[in-house]
């Protein structure tokens, strides 16, 4: 065989080897991850904070768990997979990691469906936060009901009453796989809460005094026109001073308002009549509800 023939043959053999290697790499990369590979991918996602990867290797989890995890104060580190015990379509991975300066050990349950391994929701921990005021709890950008059991990925979280801009009080929750955590929140009102409530009350009173022939309900308006009028055709209001609102744990008090009402109608003598009434003790009470958007007043 000539030297040229040797080079051609060697090149052909090299090409075949390259194609074979490429085929092996493609098959390996397209092969579904093993239980061990899935457990490692789960740990890596927890350590790096990759919520997309976390969702990909987890059984279906609440979207709120992923939203809260994105704002976790501290994630796990120094992860290690110590063993994987597989039996058919289920497996248990023994893992270790560091969280909140302590070495932690945990077991992760995995199951296989449709050719894919996923970490089960039992790998999540739970937090039950009870706030002394308000109906909502915030973990990162996720909002939950007060005293609700919250499923969260392993991490350290700040738990606070919601909305954060109106209520103060915060606690730390160290969430570990499969473990329940209870948190008590002592909640106080921020100055912004009173400001927001006063604004909401002023808006409500503006609606109350828009005018008309009837005295609006839920506005704290009482006009003694019955002794002077047979009927009323129009009432015009002027707010000189809005009642000053004070928030209390069960709702609000608003006092010392000044309201002027000009009533037009038919007097007791059958003639047209217009009379102005003035009160310097306009007051209201009601309930306050804190919502994701702020607060809402319910005036008695």
Distance CA 232, CA 236 (A): 11
Mean pLDDT of 20-29: 40
Other C-beta atoms within 10 Å of 258: how many? 15
In sequence order, which residues have a C-beta less than 8 Å from that of residue 167 and are 6 or more positions away? 131, 133, 134, 160, 161, 187, 188, 189, 190, 193, 290
Q: Is the pTM higher than 0.85?
A: no
Q: Would you put residue 61 in left (φ > 0), alpha (ψ -120 to 50) or beta?
A: beta
Which stretch of DSSP H or E encloses residue 109?
strand 102-113
Q: Strand 229-241 vs strand 251-267: parallel, antiparallel, or unpaired?
A: antiparallel
Distance CA 188, CA 210 (A): 35
SS3 165: coil
pLDDT in tens, 193-251: 999 999 999 999 999 999 888 888 899 999 988 889 999 999 999 999 999 999 997 79
Q: What is the mean pLDDT of the chain?
A: 90
| Residue 237 near residue 259 (C-beta atoms within 8 A) | yes
Mean pLDDT of 101-109: 97
SS3 89: coil
Distance CA 16, CA 4 (A): 19
Which stretch of DSSP H or E encloses residue 37?
helix 35-48
Other C-beta atoms within 10 Å of 169: how many? 19
Length of the chain, in residues: 300
Q: Rounded to the nearest 5°, which phi and psi values hold at 51?
A: -70, -30
pLDDT in tens, 151-171: 999 999 999 999 999 999 999
Give the residue carrying structure tokens 């007097």.
Answer: 267
Q: Rounded to the nearest 5°, which phi and psi values hold at 32?
A: -55, 145
Task: Determine the pLDDT at residue 106.
Answer: 97
Which stretch of DSSP H or E encloses residue 67?
helix 63-69
Record the tokens describing residue 179, joined without a space. Answer: 């473990």
What is the DSSP secondary structure assignment for residue 187, as one 8-state letter? -
Record the tokens describing residue 148, joined without a space. Answer: 């609700």
pLDDT at 191 over 70: yes
pLDDT in tens, 119-150: 999 999 999 999 999 999 999 999 999 999 99
Distance CA 240, CA 98 (A): 63
In sequence order, which residues have a C-beta less than 8 Å from that of residue 249 and are 6 or more positions away? 133
Could you tell me the sign of the dihedral formed by the alpha carbons of 192, 197, 200, 202, in that order? negative
Helices (H) and strands (E) in the chain, counts: 5, 18
Task: Determine the pLDDT at residue 177.
Answer: 97
* 3-state percent helix, strand, coil for the chain, nearest multiple of 5: 25, 50, 25
């Amino acid at each position: 065989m000539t030297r040229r023939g040797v080079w051609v043959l060697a090149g052909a053999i090299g090409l075949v080897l390259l194609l074979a290697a490429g085929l092996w790499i493609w098959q390996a990369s397209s092969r579904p991850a093993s239980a061990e590979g899935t457990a490692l991918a789960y740990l890596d996602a927890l350590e790096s904070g990759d919520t997309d990867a976390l969702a990909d290797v987890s059984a279906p989890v609440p979207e709120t768990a992923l939203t809260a995890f994105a704002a976790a104060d501290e994630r796990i580190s120094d992860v290690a997979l110590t063993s994987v015990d597989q039996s058919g379509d289920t497996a248990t991975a023994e893992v270790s990691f560091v969280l909140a300066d302590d070495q932690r050990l945990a077991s992760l349950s995995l199951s296989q469906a449709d050719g894919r391994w996923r970490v089960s929701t039992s790998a999540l921990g739970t937090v039950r936060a009870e706030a002394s005021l308000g109906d909502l709890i915030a973990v990162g950008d996720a909002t939950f009901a007060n005293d609700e059991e919250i499923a969260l990925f392993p991490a350290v979280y700040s738990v606070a009453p919601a909305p954060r801009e109106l209520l103060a009080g915060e606690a730390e929750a160290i969430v570990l796989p499969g473990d329940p955590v209870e948190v008590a929140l002592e909640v106080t009102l921020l100055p912004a809460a009173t400001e927001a409530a006063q604004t909401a009350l002023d808006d409500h009173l503006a609606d109350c005094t828009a005018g008309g022939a009837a005295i609006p309900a839920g506005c704290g308006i009482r006009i003694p026109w019955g002794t002077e009028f047979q009927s009323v055709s129009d009432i015009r209001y002027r707010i000189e001073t809005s009642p000053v609102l004070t928030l209390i744990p069960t709702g609000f008090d608003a006092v010392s308002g000044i309201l002027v009402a000009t009533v037009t109608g038919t007097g007791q003598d059958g003639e047209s009549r217009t009379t102005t009434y003035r009160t310097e003790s306009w007051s209201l009470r009601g309930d306050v509800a804190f919502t994701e958007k702020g607060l809402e007043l319910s005036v008695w």
